[in-house]
């Protein structure tokens, strides 16, 4: 969905359209009230010649000095120049978008080498070893991208059935997984926030209240994202549909332009602050990001069931996440300072924007009520016996019945259906690897290696968490990282003696925090970097520094808090 219009356009008239006229020649008044130069006689225009068959038309050499005409639809048309050199009609040949050869060869070769060259351990069955080779090849393709993620995952699934590694029923069993459907429905909720404009309204209100200074403006945007996060379960949707349009309009109104030295006036700081804060907002609530739900589902497959997951997640994340959210804008204000320190116009702009929006509309009230109902049931679900996915289904049904969302909105949400496909495939493969004993074998090998260094479980916890975090430099997706490595790393933690709930939650929190490492490390990273306000070296530099700062905050504050909560 296209993001909302630039923030500043709500407060200024639309740009006028100017039509050229030649003051040296007589002009004529048209019904459109524009002075136009006389049009050449028809006899002076070179006849047009067409080549058969007239399938496509290519027109060359327009003269910008010829008179223009404003159509009733607001588009400017220019007459064809007498000097048009050619008008051709040649059929176009569609280009086939085949798989990228080099990534394809490497991805397949990795799996084949594992299957036929690497000796099979005696503890692993031939079926399990073959499935592992297909899984590794699938993961390699997710990193190297010979095809889009969903297409490549489907090829991996097809291979498991074709080679009779898994039966058709077993291969597709994960498509009925409750958590995966909860993730899919969360994409529809995010679309509702953008479609109704509710997310934009909430963020604009915070700008009005806190936006007198650049630092206050950043805090307003950060706090509004934390408020929206539990009911808008997509960090990428929040970035592209709500916050980036507001940041861009505020920056442009302050003379801070993308891909320009003026970007450092305001835009660079606001982008970096929002980007680095988003990971903590996503880590604060179980329903704030799709990968959170996937983490707990994978933990369940290893036999680790967390009671009252929504409340347990929030309690454990609350203190370290709040501290990080409060410190991140200030740290970046010192580390990556904006040139403009005060933004006295921002509250007035926000007030005008809210005035232009008008009172809260019916569909926004429905969205608010539905999300309050959903969050309440997510919190109380275990005690009243309503599963999280049923709550999501109920919320979506309400939005469809009352017309806030239409079924076409759901059908056109490609990311949701793409996620359903490749999430289900990865979860299904990972689950079968667990059932066949591969994950436990790998975790035991790593545990023995760590024990050879006589590491205590806290030391092993630190090593494994650090490795899990740094490996993300090789991934372009948080969810892909979870599908590939979460189960294995959690099993390693358990084998090393780390308390189960602590290990599962810490890995899941890390999954959100490493989304700001690079310009490719998450969906929101691509959105914010694509705005053109931050240079690539700064993305890596600030990403690494803030990763270290977050590690310190979550280790010290989080460690003490988790001890208080009795997680270890």
Name the pLDDT band for 403 (thresholds 50, 70, 90). Answer: very high
Do residues 323 and 222 touch, judged by C-beta distance below 8 A? no
Name the pLDDT band for 414 (thresholds 50, 70, 90). Answer: confident
Give the span between the Cα atoms of 396 and 371, in whole angstroms. 10
Q: Which residue has the higher pLDDT, 453 or 288?
A: 288
The Cβ of residue 421 has, within 10 Å, a number of other Cβ atoms equal to 17
| Span of 26-35, 96-105, 476-485 with lowest mean pLDDT | 26-35
3-state secondary structure 366-413: HHHHHHHHHHHHHHHHHHHCCCHHHHHHHHHHHHHHCCCCCHHHHHCC
pLDDT at 90: 52
For tokens 């051709």, what's the residue?
Answer: 88
Give the span between the Cα atoms of 366 and 231, in whole angstroms. 13
pLDDT at 385: 79
pLDDT at 127: 93
Query: CA of 550: how far to CAs of 43, 283, 512, 538, in Å?
Result: 75, 12, 11, 17
pLDDT value at 215 more than 90: yes
pLDDT value at 62 more than 60: no
Do residues 249 and 207 touch, judged by C-beta distance below 8 A? no
pLDDT in tens, 268-278: 999 999 999 99
pLDDT value at 58 more than 50: no
Average of pLDDT values for 149-155? 89
pLDDT at 36: 41
Do residues 133 and 126 touch, judged by C-beta distance below 8 A? no
Percentage of residues in the chain with pLDDT exceeding 70? 83
Name the pLDDT band for 54 (thresholds 50, 70, 90). Answer: very low
Name the pLDDT band for 332 (thresholds 50, 70, 90). Answer: very high
pLDDT at 155: 94
pLDDT value at 318 more than 60: yes
pLDDT value at 189 more than 60: yes
- Strands 76-77 and 87-88, bridge-based pairing: unpaired
pLDDT value at 262 more than 50: yes
| Nearest to 469, CA basis, from 279, 277, 318, 320 | 279
Q: What is the CA angle 29-35-41, rounded to 5?
A: 80
pLDDT value at 112 more than 90: yes
Name the pLDDT band for 382 (thresholds 50, 70, 90). Answer: low
pLDDT at 405: 93
DSSP output for 547-564: HHHHHHHHHHHHHHHHHH
pLDDT at 93: 62
Q: Is 358 left (phi over 0), alpha (psi -120 to 50) or beta?
A: left
pLDDT in tens, 417-428: 887 888 788 778
Calculate the CA dihedral of residues 268, 270, 273, 275 and round it to 10 degrees.
-80
Average of pLDDT values for 379-388? 77
Q: What is the CA angle 487-281-550, rounded to 5?
A: 75
pLDDT value at 16 more than 50: no
Q: Kindly tell me the number of DSSP H helices and DSSP E strands found in the chain.
A: 24, 6
| Span of 78-87, 89-98, 149-158, 526-535 with lowest mean pLDDT | 78-87
pLDDT at 461: 93
Name the pLDDT band for 483 (thresholds 50, 70, 90). Answer: confident
Name the pLDDT band for 92 (thresholds 50, 70, 90). Answer: low
Report the run of H or E that residue 29 belongs to, with start and end.
strand 28-29
Give the span between the Cα atoms of 551 and 502, in whole angstroms. 15
77: helix, coil or strand? strand
pLDDT value at 24 more than 90: no
| Span of 76-90, 183-197, 339-353, 433-447 with lowest mean pLDDT | 76-90
Please tell me which of 9-13, 52-56, 132-136, 346-350 the model is most confident about, judged by mean pLDDT.
Answer: 132-136
Q: Is the pTM of this model over 0.75?
A: no
pLDDT at 94: 64
């Amino acid at each position: 969905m296209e993001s909302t219009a630039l923030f500043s356009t709500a407060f200024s008239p639309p740009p006028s359209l100017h039509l050229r006229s030649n003051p040296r020649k007589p002009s004529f008044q048209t019904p459109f009230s524009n002075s136009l130069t006389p049009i050449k006689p028809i006899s002076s225009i070179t006849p047009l010649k067409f080549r058969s068959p007239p399938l496509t038309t290519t027109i060359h050499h327009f003269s910008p000095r010829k008179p223009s005409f404003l159509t009733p639809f607001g588009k400017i048309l220019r007459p064809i120049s007498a000097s048009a050199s050619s008008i051709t009609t040649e059929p176009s040949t569609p280009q086939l978008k085949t798989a990228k050869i080099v990534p394809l060869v490497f991805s397949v070769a990795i799996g084949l080498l594992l299957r036929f060259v690497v000796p099979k351990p005696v503890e692993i069955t031939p079926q399990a070893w073959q499935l592992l080779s297909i899984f590794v090849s699938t993961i390699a393709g997710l990193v190297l991208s010979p095809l889009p993620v969903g297409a490549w995952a489907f090829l991996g699934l097809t291979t498991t059935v074709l080679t009779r590694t898994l039966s058709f029923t077993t291969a597709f069993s994960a498509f009925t997984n409750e958590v995966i459907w909860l993730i899919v429905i969360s994409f529809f909720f995010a679309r509702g926030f953008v479609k109704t404009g509710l997310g934009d309204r909430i963020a604009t209100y915070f700008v009005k209240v806190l936006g007198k200074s650049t630092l206050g403006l950043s805090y307003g945007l950060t706090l509004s994202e934390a408020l929206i996060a539990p009911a808008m379960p997509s960090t990428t949707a929040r970035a592209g549909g709500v916050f980036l349009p507001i940041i861009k309009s505020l920056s442009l109104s302050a003379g801070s332009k993308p891909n320009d030295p003026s970007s450092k006036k305001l835009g660079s700081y606001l982008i970096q602050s929002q980007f680095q804060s988003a990971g903590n907002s996503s880590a604060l609530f179980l329903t704030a990001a799709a990968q959170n739900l996937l983490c707990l589902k994978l933990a369940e497959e290893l036999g680790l069931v967390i009671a009252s997951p929504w409340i347990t997640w929030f309690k454990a994340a609350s203190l370290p996440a709040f501290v990080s959210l409060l410190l991140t804008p200030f740290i970046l204000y010192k580390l990556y300072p904006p040139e403009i320190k005060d933004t006295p116009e921002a509250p007035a702009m926000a007030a005008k924007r809210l005035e232009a929006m008008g009172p809260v509309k019916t569909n926004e009230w429905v969205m608010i009520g539905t999300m309050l109902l959903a969050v309440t049931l997510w919190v109380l679900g275990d005690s009243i016996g309503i599963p999280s996915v049923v709550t999501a289904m109920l919320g979506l049904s309400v939005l469809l019945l009352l017309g806030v969302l239409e079924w076409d909105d759901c059908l056109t949400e490609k990311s949701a259906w793409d996620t359903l496909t490749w999430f289900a495939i990865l979860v299904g493969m990972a689950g079968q690897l667990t059932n066949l004993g591969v994950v436990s074998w790998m975790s035991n090998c790593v545990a023995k290696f760590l024990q050879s260094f006589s590491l205590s479980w806290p030391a092993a916890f630190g090593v494994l968490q650090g490795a899990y975090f740094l490996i993300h430099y090789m991934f372009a997706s948080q969810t892909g990282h979870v599908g590939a490595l979460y189960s294995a790393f959690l099993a390693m933690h358990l084998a090393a003696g780390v308390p189960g709930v602590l290990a599962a939650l810490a890995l899941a929190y890390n999954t959100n925090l490493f989304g700001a490492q690079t310009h490719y490390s998450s969906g929101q990273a691509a959105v914010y970097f694509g705005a053109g306000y931050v240079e690539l070296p700064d993305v890596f530099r600030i990403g690494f520094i803030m990763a270290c700062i977050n590690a310190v905050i979550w280790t010290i504050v989080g460690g003490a808090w988790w001890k208080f909560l009795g997680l270890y």
